[in-house]
Chains A and B, each alone.
Chain A
């Protein structure tokens, strides 16, 4: 079957429905309901997005507004949208839908009023969607107009359409910053990088009111696909890099560290320097870098001591240089970083290595670098692998966090007992009910945690938000800090009340804090809150999946007793109960922070 990441739009269009049939046959696809409110014909975006989402593991269902009725269907007549119950609403508008563009005579003083008038209409749309639906909203900003009637002045004069759209895009960014449920799709940037000249298709516009070329719609669909994946916590997190002819020119084992091409001295060296800078930029925003190279380890490491190197060993979260197969090394890297292989991107100039990794680990993304280092960064960008939906302190600190994990591992070796080691970490935890600042992270964890996850239930941000406001639920998050760093929000427990009992819908923890006693601290906090609200019994459930065997004995290990299974539970599930009378606290190594309970979030 075609790989949609690399094939041409012609190939896709000519066999769209057979592709759809083939992709739909996959098992375990995740349902997602997407409403598209368009200012022009949206059928082609839907068709292309459907294929891409299927390939990404979703089973999308679409609802399209009547032609051009993005405003009416959101604001005036929202019933059909409400009935559709979308998870995501995408508002697809263009510069042709602009209604408040200023006249040529507009002055600097008047321009903000025009921008405000246009923005106000979109505010109405977003307000209505936020009020009527619990969904994510994706709103595009505006590409530059097809024609610059004022020439270069179009971007400078307050009466120029380009100038107006630039101001409007800034106003969108500022407004959306205060609306956590609205995400911006940067059509301005997407169209500019693609080429505004190849963006609009006037032949199709006047024939079918389809504004963009098929190539442009594919760009839009690819960007939406990556946003949807990001919303469901499926963005990739790790870039695994080869060394020779990938991070520097030449073969360090043959040429020696003095002869590799890196630095400002030659064009080739400069190009590798620029690529290293790109990798470092990814690392600085939270993408983990790993090295996987066929080399002697000492020689490979010496490359990072080259006087012109941009990447240093401290930027590399996991370093594998040996003569084993790369797919085996990638498995090891995944284990050491405690991350799923499905969050990996493998980048190597050698086609044989790429083919082997693709064949052995089809879930790893393997972009085609081409034969020229000057195209490497673009090859990675094209895949949109690492799309973020927010930049948390968590992301910005992640690389440092994983580096301190490696330190923890070496500390562990020095203590006589494991208990001593845990105490030496000076751990403290914040365990509190769901709060608005963490809803996104909580939803992200429910979507990306597969191993330490008792029920593997997935939630959207909107669902977590309504749960956080519902007194029928007890939901707690846990953050864990130790003397080597802040591990961030790493555990979520969630149960719903039923009389004097509470039934656990969810119990999950990030594997980065395995074996630290965090689960005991979470149970203590849960029991404390449960008892305070008159609960006598906790019911816990384990639903087995391919990935969560590690928690099969989780509840009994915390002192829960087996309980007869209810018939409606999935096959292989087990059920457990804990009687709360005479509960003795389990947590011994983590100090619980008492704070923030009254903070007005």
Chain B
């Protein structure tokens, strides 16, 4: 399996965010967050976290989930967890 890169993670997350936030062609950047993306409420958050972990076959613990603030944090965490 080819190892993940920041770009491949963004590419993998794009359709997930589009589907869950119901926003086709959404522009995801490192600074994207619940504050600046549409429809990212607590229920959407739950769906995003579940789906992203499944998509990249990683499992976040409760502390890590607490610390996530932006899509950039999420990408870094996926990279960190998938290296192990």
What residues of chain A have their CB less than 8 Å away from a CB belonging to chain B? 9-10, 13-18, 41, 43-44, 47, 203-204, 206-208, 210, 214
Contacts and interface: CB of A to CB of B under 8 A. Distances in A.
B42 interface: yes
Contact of B19 (A9, A17, A208): A17
Identify the interface centre among B42, B51, B60: most chain A CB within 10 Å of its CB.
Answer: B51
Given A203-B62, A206-B62, 16 more contacts: A10-B51, A13-B47, A14-B54, A15-B15, A17-B19, A17-B22, A43-B43, A44-B50, A203-B61, A204-B46, A204-B50, A207-B46, A207-B49, A207-B62, A210-B46, A214-B50
A587 to B, nearest CB: 60
B46 A16 contact: no
Nearest to B19: A17
Given A43-B46, A207-B65, A16 B20 contact: yes
A83 B80 CA distance: 50
B16 interface: yes
Contact of A13 (B22, B43, B45, B54): B54
Contact of B55 (A14, A41, A204): A14
A14 B16 contact: yes
B44 to A, nearest CB: 10
A10 B22 contact: no
B50 A16 contact: no
Interface of B: 15-16, 19-20, 22, 42-43, 45-47, 49-51, 54-55, 59-62, 65
Contacts of B50: 13, 44, 204, 214
A203 B61 CA distance: 7
A220 to B, nearest CB: 16
Nearest to A11: B54
Contacts of A43: 43, 46
A203 to B, nearest CB: 6
Contact of A14 (B22, B51, B60, B61): B51
B81 to A, nearest CB: 14
A14 B43 contact: no
A210 B65 CA distance: 15
Given A203-B61, A204-B50, A207-B65, A14 B19 contact: yes
7 contacts: A14-B19, A15-B15, A16-B20, A44-B47, A44-B50, A207-B65, A210-B46
A210 B43 CA distance: 10
Contacts of A10: 51, 54-55
Nearest first, the 8 closest Cβ-Cβ pairs linking A and B are: A208-B46, A10-B54, A13-B51, A17-B19, A43-B43, A207-B65, A15-B19, A14-B51
A47 B51 CA distance: 13
Contacts of A210: 46
A207 B45 CA distance: 11
Nearest to A9: B54
Contacts of B59: 203
Identify the interface centre among B15, B19, B22, B42: most chain A CB within 10 Å of its CB.
Answer: B19
Nearest to A207: B65
Contacts of B49: 207
Contacts of B65: 203, 207
Contact of A208 (B15, B22, B42, B51): B42
B61 to A, nearest CB: 7
A396 B31 CA distance: 64
A16 B62 contact: no
Contacts of A44: 46-47, 50
A4 to B, nearest CB: 16
A21 B54 CA distance: 22
Identify the interface centre among A14, A43, A207, A214: most chain B CB within 10 Å of its CB.
Answer: A14
Nearest to B45: A208
B14 to A, nearest CB: 12
A92 B46 CA distance: 19
B65 to A, nearest CB: 6
Contact of B15 (A14, A41, A47): A14
A210 B20 CA distance: 18
Identify the interface centre among B15, B50, B51: most chain A CB within 10 Å of its CB.
Answer: B50
